[in-house]
Amino acid sequence: MRLKFTKIILMLAVAGMISACGNKTEKSPDKMVRTGIQRIMTEDNQFNFSGSYQTEFIIQNNEDKNSSEITEPIIASEVSASEASASEEYDDDTSELTEYHRKQMDLYNKSIGQFLGQFGKSFSVPFTGAVDMKKGVMEVIPEVRYEDKNVLISFKFPTYLDFNNLSLYLDGSAITHLSDTMPYNKMVIGDKYMQFAVPQDKAQHIPVADLLKSLPKSVDDGYASIDPSAFKKVNVDEFGKTLEAKYQVNLNTDYASSLKYNTVLLQSLSKTLKETAAKADKNNKYKPEDYALLGNIIDALASIYSDSDNALADTPMGAYLEQLKNKSNLMVNNFYFDSKGRIIGVRFKTDLPMAITGMEEPKGTIRIDYKVRMDYTGSPKFTMQPTPQNSINIGARLGW
């Protein structure tokens, strides 16, 4: 009897474990993404990553368009009588020139399109890196790469960010090994890293630790602003299969939703910092004005993405954001999960009109494809180990 009772207890325990595991992975798609991102930021925040950034140029073909769609129309009311008679006299010549101009522009756009198309196929930015938020450091090593038949051009720029002392370290040896030998060079880098640091007299008044603590909730608030129905659980695609992903969630948004996400995130961050400042006592490391200064910077950034009080409204950046708000192009985000509910990969794809980038001709689209995978080792490997001895503080050298 006792044996049977023990077996029943074991069976119930196993059933409970299976049920718990099932509940962990059977969340709604939006909750899967939000929980996975929170784990990256608070729990599984020590990992290596790798991925690539690629672009494809899709040029619009103008060969089927007539000249009226390409050339600027002439307003009749602006043409004088003498100009009208002259235009009648040289009408044939003008039409021939217009047709010649149109053909030349078509040939030019076609050749530019072929150049950009070939460049996009050969150009890529693969990268690797490491994150250890428990120690407050991260590293990314982008490689600017052009590869095709009989040609390989590659530059790597290892970059290390230390949140503890607000410093960015750059290994610029891909360029400095040559620039160091230039005549009259007054700053020889040698084998050292270049350090770009916030001056200590200013860094000590920036509550970075409180900012990082507030970030997970603010990021979650940003994702919470997206309609939950936009998140869809789908079959694992080919990229996900290379990750050995168990689940995949697709999130399709437009640029307006993306700008709203950024606005909500920044506003939440500002609000949390203000609450932290209000709770701080006189023994706190930072003063109320320190929090206020950082909050003002975040509020200014939030205004850039919001629909009102855009601080950059009359600048090229502001005009660019306004164009994005009026575009219906999809931003396709795919999140890949393992059996533990961890995000092990992300893929982002979108199309940008070339006109948005400032290129009026040729007309077309820039297709962006960004992929990244995470490897949770528990002990991430870093390539760079910057120290005061192996780094040069560029700001100090330049008198910043």
Residue 160 lies in a domain: no
Residues 309 and 235 sit within 8 Å (Cβ to Cβ) = no
CA dihedral 326, 330, 331, 332 (to 10 degrees): 170
Ranges of residues in the chain with a pLDDT under 70 are 1-26, 61-94, 96-97, 307-329, 355-361, 398-400
Give the count of beta carbons closer than 10 Å to the beta carbon of residue 6. 10
Residue 175 lies in a domain: no
Residue 13 lies in a domain: no
pLDDT confidence of residue 318: 66
Give the domain extent around 129.
30-73+80-155+200-398
CB contact set of 185 (below 8 Å; sequence gap of 6+): 179
Gap between the Cα atoms of 400 and 371, Å rounded: 37
372 half-sphere exposure, CB direction, 13 A CA radius: 19
Gap between the Cα atoms of 369 and 87, Å rounded: 51
**For the chain, give me the number of helices (H) and strands (E)?**
12, 13
pLDDT confidence of residue 10: 46
pLDDT confidence of residue 199: 87
- Whose CA is closest to 252, among 228, 219, 236, 235? 228
Residue 177 lies in a domain: no
Gap between the Cα atoms of 266 and 268, Å rounded: 5
Which phi and psi angles does 195 have, rounded to 5°? -105, 130
Q: Write out the E strands in 163-295.
A: 167-170, 193-197, 231-234, 247-254
pLDDT confidence of residue 277: 87
Say how many domains are in the chain.
1
Residue 274 lies in a domain: yes
Residue 18 lies in a domain: no
Residues 39 and 371 sit within 8 Å (Cβ to Cβ) = no
Residue 181 lies in a domain: no
**pLDDT tens digits for range 79-136:** 444 444 544 555 556 676 687 777 777 777 777 778 888 888 999 999 999 999 999 9
Residue 283 lies in a domain: yes
Chain center to CA of 126: 14
pLDDT confidence of residue 386: 95
**pLDDT tens digits for range 259-318:** 889 999 999 999 999 998 888 887 888 888 899 889 988 988 888 777 555 566 666 666
Residues 143 and 126 sit within 8 Å (Cβ to Cβ) = yes
Give the count of beta carbons closer than 10 Å to the beta carbon of residue 149. 5
Gap between the Cα atoms of 363 and 341, Å rounded: 43
